[in-house]
Structure 1
Amino acid sequence: MTHLRQRMQEDLRLRNYSPRTIHSYIRIVAEFASYFRKSPDQLGPEHIRAWLLYLLDERKLAWGTLQCARSALKFLYTRTLKQTWFDQEIIKPKVRRKLPTVWSREEVCALLDATTNTKHRALLAVYYSAGLRCQEALDLKVNDIDSKRMVIHVREGKGKFPRQVMLSPKLLELLRVYWKWRKPKDWLFPGERPDQPLFQNAVRVACQKLRQKLGITKPLSPHVLRHSFATHLLDAGTDLRSIQLLLGHRDLETTARYLHVSEARLHATASPLDDLPIRIVRTAQGGNRTA
C-alpha cells in the first residue's frame, strides 16, 4: 500500500465514513491513477477532466456513478492533498432527479405471493413493510427484531445513524415461520457462509427472476419496495415528517418527492378545467380529421 493511499484511508476513517464508502473511494482513486499510470499527487485538473469525460463518453457510466467518482477525487485532493482548486476547476454535474418507481399494492401482493422461497419472501416483506434500504435489511441480526415492543432496530443506517421502525404483525408471523425453518443464529439473513450476511447481488438476482416470473416490466429492487412503502403510507394519510423518520432521511425535501407519485394526493386534487362551465361535447365535429 502506498503512503498516499494509506493517508487517504486514515482521513476517511477519521471522518467516520462507512467501510463501503472507504472501499469505493479507494477503488476509484486507484482506477484514476491506473488510467494515467501516475500517482494522483502528480496529476491535476486537466487529468481529472479528461478521466471524467472518459467515464462519461467511453464507459457510458450513469450520472450517479460519475458523481461518486468526482466525490472520491474531491476528497483526495481537498482533504488528503490539501488542494484548493478542486471546486473551481472541476464542474459539479447538475443533479437530474427522477420520480421514484412505485409498485401498486396489487403488484406487491402478487410479488410476495409468487415468492415461494421462504427466505426471499421474508426479506422482500421486510423491505416493503419497514422501508429499509437494501444493506440495512441485510445487516439485521436476529436480536434486532423486538417482538415485545413490535419494532425493528436498524443499528447502523445511512451515515451510521441508528433508528427504529415498526414491526408489522404479518411480518413477525412470516419471520417466525422463516426462523423455524432456517434457524439463523446471528445474521437474520445469512449468506452461503453463516458468519456473513447475504450479499446485495444475490438480492438483485432474486428480484430480476421474480419480476420476469410475474411478467411485470417495471424495475424491481429493494429500493423500489422502499419507494412503494413510503408512497403507500402517504396514500393512507401518514404525515411526511413520520415517513421521513421511518425512512431515515436527513432532509424533509427528500421525502417530499413522494408527493409527486402519491395516487391519493393526485386524485384528491381537482383540475381547474372541471370547474369551467364549458359546453359538453357528445360527438366529434370539425373539418379535416388530420388537422
Structure 2
Amino acid sequence: MNDSEKTVPDHPAPWNKGKLIGQKPPLKLREIWALRTRLELAGKIRELALFNLAIDSKLRGCDLVQLRVNDVARGGDILTRASVVQQKTREPVRFELTEPTRVAVAAWIAKAGLTSGSYLFPSRRQDSPHLSTRQYARIVKGWVGLIGGNPQEYGTHSLRRTKATLIYRRTKNLRAVQLLLGHRKLESTVRYLGIEVDVRWTPKFGPGVKL
C-alpha cells in the first residue's frame, strides 16, 4: 500500500468544535432591567428571584443553586446582607441583597411554601434536591434569548461577573471587587474582569452600585 492509499485514522471532534469559548461577557445595565421587566410581566416568580439573587450575590453557580432559605432569611424577613462559604475556596463571602432582590425572594419563598431549611431553589426533577448547575445554565441561556442576545455567548459566569464589572467601572476599586467575588488573589480578580491594571495601586472608593 502506498502513501496515497493509507487511511487517516478517525479522531474525536474537539470538545469546543462549533462552540464559542473564552470569558463570558457580563450583562449591561439596560439588559438587567430589560430582563427583570420581562420576567415580572411573565409572572416568572422563581426565575425573577433566581436572576436578582445571582446578580446581587455574585456567587458561582455551584454555590447559588445550593442556597437554603436560612442563608438569606431570618424569622420570615429577608436579610439585607448575607454570608456564604464558597465551595471552591472554603472561604466566606458577603453580599448585599438589594430591595428588588428581597421583594422577589420573599415572593418566591411564599409562593413555593419553603421553610427555613429548604433549598431556596428546589429542583423539579426527582434526581436532585435542588436546581442543578446544568439546569441553571440552561435557564441563563433562556434569559439571554428573551432580550435578543446570543445564548452561546453568555453563561452563568456572565451573571457572576455583571455587578462586579459595574462596581469596578464606577469605583476602580479592585480590592473591593476582590472581596465581593471572594478571590484570594488580586491577580485573579484582574483576570476575571478582563482588564489591564497595575495591581500595586488601587484608589479607595466605596463599592456600592445600585441596580
Question: TM-score with structure 2 length normalisation?
Answer: 0.71
User: Per-residue displacement from partner, 1:121-152 (whole Å, max 9, x unpaired)?
Assistant: 11111111121111111111111015576212
Shift of 1:196: 1.0
- Amino acid in structure 2 at the alignment position of 1:184: L
Question: Radius of gyration: which is bigger?
Answer: 1
Q: Does 1:61 align with 2:15?
A: yes
Structure 1 residues 205, 153: closer, same or farther in 2, change over 3 A? same
Q: CA RMSD in A?
A: 2.8
Preserved CA contact (<8 Å) 2:31 2:147: no
- Amino acid in structure 2 at the alignment position of 1:196: P
Q: Does 1:182 align with 2:112?
A: yes
Q: Which moved more, 1:186-195 or 1:171-180?
A: 186-195
Q: Extract unaligned runs of 5+ from structure 1.
A: 1-53, 63-96, 262-291
User: Could you say which structure has the higher helix fraction?
Assistant: 1
How far apart, CA to CA, are the structure 1 residues paired with 2:95 and 2:66? Answer: 15
Preserved CA contact (<8 Å) 2:24 2:157: no
- Amino acid in structure 2 at the alignment position of 1:205: R
Secondary structure, aligned partner of 1:159: coil
- Amino acid in structure 2 at the alignment position of 1:151: R
Q: Extract unaligned runs of 5+ from structure 2.
A: 1-8, 197-211
Q: Does 1:113 align with 2:37?
A: yes
Q: Does 1:165 align with 2:89?
A: no
Query: Could you say which residue in structure 2 is the equivalent of 1:289?
Result: none
Secondary structure, aligned partner of 2:95: strand
Secondary structure, aligned partner of 1:152: strand
Query: Could you say which residue in structure 2 is the equivalent of 1:250?
Result: 184
How far apart, CA to CA, are the structure 2 residues paired with 1:149 and 1:180? Answer: 15
Structure 1 residues 165, 182: closer, same or farther in 2, change over 3 A? same
How far apart, CA to CA, are the structure 2 residues paired with 1:131 and 1:61? Answer: 28
How far apart, CA to CA, are the structure 2 residues paired with 1:177 and 1:149? Answer: 14
Aligned residues: 173
Query: Could you say which residue in structure 2 is the equivalent of 1:50?
Result: none
- Amino acid in structure 2 at the alignment position of 1:250: R
Runs of 4+ residues over 3 Å off in structure 1: 97-100, 146-149
Structure 1 residues 171, 207: closer, same or farther in 2, change over 3 A? same
Preserved CA contact (<8 Å) 1:124 1:222: no
How far apart, CA to CA, are the structure 1 residues paired with 2:188 and 2:128? Answer: 35
